[in-house]
Amino acid sequence: MANTHTIPRPRLIEVDESHSGQRLDNFLIGYFRGVPRSHIYRILRRGEVRINKGRRTPSYRLKPGDVVRIPPVRMTPSAPAPALLSASHRRLRDHIVYQDDDVLVLNKPAGIAVHTGTGVAAGVIEALRELCPQIPDLELVHRLDRDTSGCLLLAKNRKSLIALQAAFRQQDGAISKHYLALVKGLPDKERWEVTAALRKGAVRGDERMVVITPDGARAITRFTCEKHYRDSTLVGVELLTGRTHQVRVHAAHVGHPVAGDSKYGDREFNTRLRPVGLNRLFLHASELTFPHPSRSVRQRVVAPLPDNLSAVLQRLEIETTE
C-alpha cells in the first residue's frame, strides 16, 4: 500500500507576498503535492476550501493577508519514489548548465517529458524535486517537447517564477530563444522567416496536432543556414513567439521538415538518416537569454549539442565529402 498520511484537522494559512496573485487552484496543487488534481478540484467544488471564511472559485487570485482554510486531506508523498525514476532521471543533476539563488537551467535530454502526464510516471520537475530536496519551491517557467533537448528554465522561488513567466508572455524580445535543427533539403536562401499563424487541431494519439490556419495564433520563426550536407542542412532557428510545435510546423510548411520528426516530418527522409545514427528528433534548444529576476542583467545560457546529434553531423560531413 502506498505510504500516505492525513492532515488530521483543518489548517488556516495566511497568504504572504510570495503567493500574491497566484490562482487558488495552483496554490493548492503546490500545497497538496501527491494529491490528484481531480481531488483538489472536488474539494473546491464542495466548498471545503475557504478564503476569509467564504467560498472562492479555482481562478481566484490570492492577496497578501488572505486566510486560506485547508481541509483534512489524505496525502501521498510529494515526489515520486526513487524507484520510479529511471537512470536518465537520476542523471538530470549532471545536465544542469547554470544555476544561482533564483533560477536553474537544465540541458534537458531528449525523451524525457517535463512533467507527469498520460503514461509518464515522472517528468523533469518531479525528478528534480526528488533529487534536489533543498529546493522545495522549484517550478517550470516554460515547456519543451518531450523529444526536444536543450535549455529548460526553472525558477527556485515564487517571485522569480512570476517575473520570468511574465517575460515569456511579452512580445518585445524580453526572451531570446535559439535552436539548432537538421532539416530536409538544401534551402535556396541563407536566411528566411515564416509567419504562418498556428492553431492546435485534432488529437492524434495522446498529443494534439498543430495546424496552419489564418485564424490561428501569431507565430514568427527565423531560420539561418549553418551548414549544408548532401541532402540536408543544419539551421539555426530563432523563435520570436512560443507556440506549441512552432519550429516543426513552420519548417515542414516551407518544405524543409525537421529530421527525425515522426509527426510533421518526411518518413522517407527520416529512414534515410537512420544509418548515420539519427534515432530522435534533431531539434535542440541551444541558447536562452532572459532578464534575470533579481539582477539588472540579461542572463545568457548555452546548452551544448548532445553527443548523439554531434555524431550524426560528423557522419553527414564524411558522407558529403566522399
What is the Rg, in whole angstroms, of the alpha carbon atoms belonging to the chain? Answer: 22
Torsion sign over Cα 25, 177, 146, 246: positive
What is the CA 71 to chain-centroid distance, rounded?
A: 32
Task: Report the DSSP pairing between strands 283-291 and 149-155.
Answer: parallel
Q: φ and ψ at 93, to 5 degrees?
A: -60, -30
Name the residue with cell 515522472: 122
State the alpha helices, DSSP H only, in 132-261: 158-169, 246-253
Q: Is residue 307 among the annotated active site residues? A: no
Length of the chain: 322
The secondary element (H helix, E strand) that includes residue 307 is helix 307-321
Q: Whose CA is closest to 103, among 127, 137, 133?
A: 137
All residues at 6 or more sequence positions from 309 whose CB lies less than 8 Å from its CB, including other chains: 149, 180, 182, 280, 282, 284
DSSP line for 159-192: HHHHHHHHHHH-SSSSSEEEEEEEEES--S-SEE
Specify the 3-state DSSP secondary structure of 106. strand
The Cα-based distances of 90 to 130, 143, 260 in angstroms read 9, 20, 26
The one catalytic residue among 145, 147, 261, 266: 145
Active site residues: 145
